[in-house]
Amino acid sequence: MPARQEPGTPEGSLCPAPAGSAPRRRRLRRRLRNPAFMLAVGLVLVLLGGFGAGLVKTAGGSITVRQLRWETGSGHELAAELFIPKNATPDHPAPAIACSHGWQVNSEYQEAFYIEFARRGYVVVAIDMYGHGDSEAVAFNTWWSEDGATGANGLYDAVQMLAGLPFVDADQIGVTGHSNGGTATNLSVLLDNEAPAPLIDAALIVANEPLATRDQTLVGAYLREDSGDFHNPYGGRDVGVIAGQYDEVFHRYQWADGTVDPARDFVTGPTAQSFLHFGADPAGLPERSGDAVYRQTIDGQDAMRVIFNPTAVHNLLFIAPSVVADAINFFEQALPAPHPLPAGNQIAPWKPIASAVGAAGLMIVFVSFFLVMLRTRYFGVLAAPGPWRRPRRPGGAGSGCGPA
Output the average pLDDT for the chain. 87
On the question of pLDDT at 397 being above 60, the answer is: no
Q: Are 330 and 204 in contact (CB under 8 A)?
A: yes
Q: Are 138 and 69 in contact (CB under 8 A)?
A: no
Tens-place pLDDT, residues 269-304: 988 999 999 999 999 999 999 999 999 999 899 999
Nearest 5°: CA angle at 57, between 56 and 63? Answer: 110
pLDDT of residue 154: 92
Instruction: Say if residue 101 is exposed, middle or buried (CB neighbours under 10 Å; 0-12, 13-18, 19+).
Output: buried
Confidence band of 27 (pLDDT split at 50, 70, 90): low
pLDDT of residue 302: 95
Which residues are 63's β-sheet partners? 85
pLDDT of residue 121: 97
Residue 305 zone, left/alpha/beta (φ > 0; ψ -120 to 50; rest): beta
pLDDT of residue 254: 78
Helix (H/G/I), strand (E/B), else coil: 2: coil
The bridge status of strand 77-85 relative to strand 63-71 is: antiparallel
pLDDT of residue 32: 66
Confidence band of 398 (pLDDT split at 50, 70, 90): low
Least confident of 65-69, 103-107, 398-402: 398-402
pLDDT of residue 395: 63
In the 8-state DSSP scheme, what is residue 390? -
The arithmetic mean of pLDDT across residues 306-331, rounded, is 95
On the question of pLDDT at 111 being above 50, the answer is: yes
Q: Are 342 and 209 in contact (CB under 8 A)?
A: no
The arithmetic mean of pLDDT across residues 315-320, rounded, is 92
- Which among 248, 253, 124, 213 is positioned nearest to 176, based on CA atoms? 124
Considering only residues 158 and 383, tell me which one the structure prediction assigns the higher pLDDT: 158
In the 8-state DSSP scheme, what is residue 378? T
Tens-place pLDDT, residues 114-151: 999 999 999 999 999 999 999 999 877 676 666 667 77
pLDDT of residue 391: 72
Sequence-ordered list of residues with C-beta below 8 angstroms from that of 272, at least 6 positions apart, any chain: 210, 241, 243, 266, 290, 307
Distances (CA, A) of 57 to 115, 116, 220, 235, 352: 6, 9, 34, 35, 11
Q: Residue 334 and residue 323: Cα distance in Å, rounded?
A: 17
pLDDT of residue 4: 54
Considering only residues 255 and 248, tell me which one the structure prediction assigns the higher pLDDT: 248
| Residue type, position 302, single letter | D
On the question of pLDDT at 229 being above 90, the answer is: no
Q: Residue 48 and residue 40: Cα distance in Å, rounded?
A: 12
On the question of pLDDT at 93 being above 70, the answer is: yes
pLDDT of residue 31: 66
Least confident of 122-126, 190-194, 258-262, 326-330: 258-262
Instruction: Say if residue 315 is exposed, middle or buried (CB neighbours under 10 Å; 0-12, 13-18, 19+).
Output: middle
pLDDT of residue 404: 47
In the 8-state DSSP scheme, what is residue 214? T
pLDDT of residue 18: 59
pLDDT of residue 255: 80
On the question of pLDDT at 19 being above 60, the answer is: no
- Which among 159, 168, 164, 163 is positioned nearest to 87, based on CA atoms? 168
Considering only residues 34 and 30, tell me which one the structure prediction assigns the higher pLDDT: 34
Q: Are 42 and 362 in contact (CB under 8 A)?
A: yes
On the question of pLDDT at 310 being above 60, the answer is: yes
Per cent of the chain over pLDDT 90 is 66
pLDDT of residue 33: 76
Tens-place pLDDT, residues 50-84: 999 999 999 999 999 999 999 999 899 999 999 99
Helix (H/G/I), strand (E/B), else coil: 305: strand
pLDDT of residue 228: 67
- Which among 129, 127, 102, 126 is positioned nearest to 114, based on CA atoms? 126
Cα-to-chain-centroid distance, residue 119: 15
pLDDT of residue 379: 79
On the question of pLDDT at 37 being above 50, the answer is: yes
